[in-house]
Amino acid sequence: MVVLDTNVVLALYWFQDARLGRLAQALQTGQLQWLATSEMRQELVHVLERWQGDNAARGPSSGLPEEGPGIQDVLRMFDRLAEQVTASPAGPTPRCTDSADQKFIDLALSSQSSWLLSRDRAVLKLRRKLLAIAGCTVQRPEDWPG
């Protein structure tokens, strides 16, 4: 089982980062079971809509892909590949310094996921604690051994 931070979902399905090809394949084939919550989907929608609005206002220099998937394409991939569950950690959990990222920590612990993939420094700082507490490996998606 794997939990993906929003920044990883964006890299996979919005920016289509070629470095994550093995990860994309593992999700597509079911080698990895991707777990997410409704709150994670809501965050993804919010980020995509904000970026789309910024892109329209600023033009192609905003850093968003000019061609490629649209918001609905990314959300369809999320809905097709992510199993939506509820995070309910038992007992105290390590606190993330970025409270917006706590949901990823809580889900990884409550689901006993093997992996939590993120590019966020605040999440990555908890790698030793999550490995010790739950055997969950926290790392950048580029480093996933696949």
pLDDT surpassing 60 at residue 118: yes
User: What integer pLDDT is reported at residue 124 of this predicted model?
Assistant: 97
**Interior/surface letters 114-136, b for 16+ CB within 10 angstroms, e for the rest:** ebbbbbbebbeebeebbeeebeb
Q: Which residues pair with 34 in a beta bridge?
A: 2, 82
- Count of residues making up the chain: 146
User: What integer pLDDT is reported at residue 63 of this predicted model?
Assistant: 53
The answer, as to whether pTM is greater than 0.85, is yes
Q: Which residues pair with 137 in a beta bridge?
A: 115
User: What integer pLDDT is reported at residue 87 of this predicted model?
Assistant: 83
pLDDT surpassing 70 at residue 56: no
Q: Give DSSP secondary structure letters for 31-54.
A: SS-EEE-HHHHHHHHHHHHHHHHH
User: What integer pLDDT is reported at residue 67 of this predicted model?
Assistant: 60
Q: Residue 88: which pLDDT band, with cuts at 50, 70 and 90?
A: confident
> What's the order of all strands across the beta sheet hosting 137-139?
82-84, 34-36, 2-4, 115-117, 137-139
CA dist., res. 80 & res. 83, Å (int): 8
pLDDT surpassing 90 at residue 13: yes
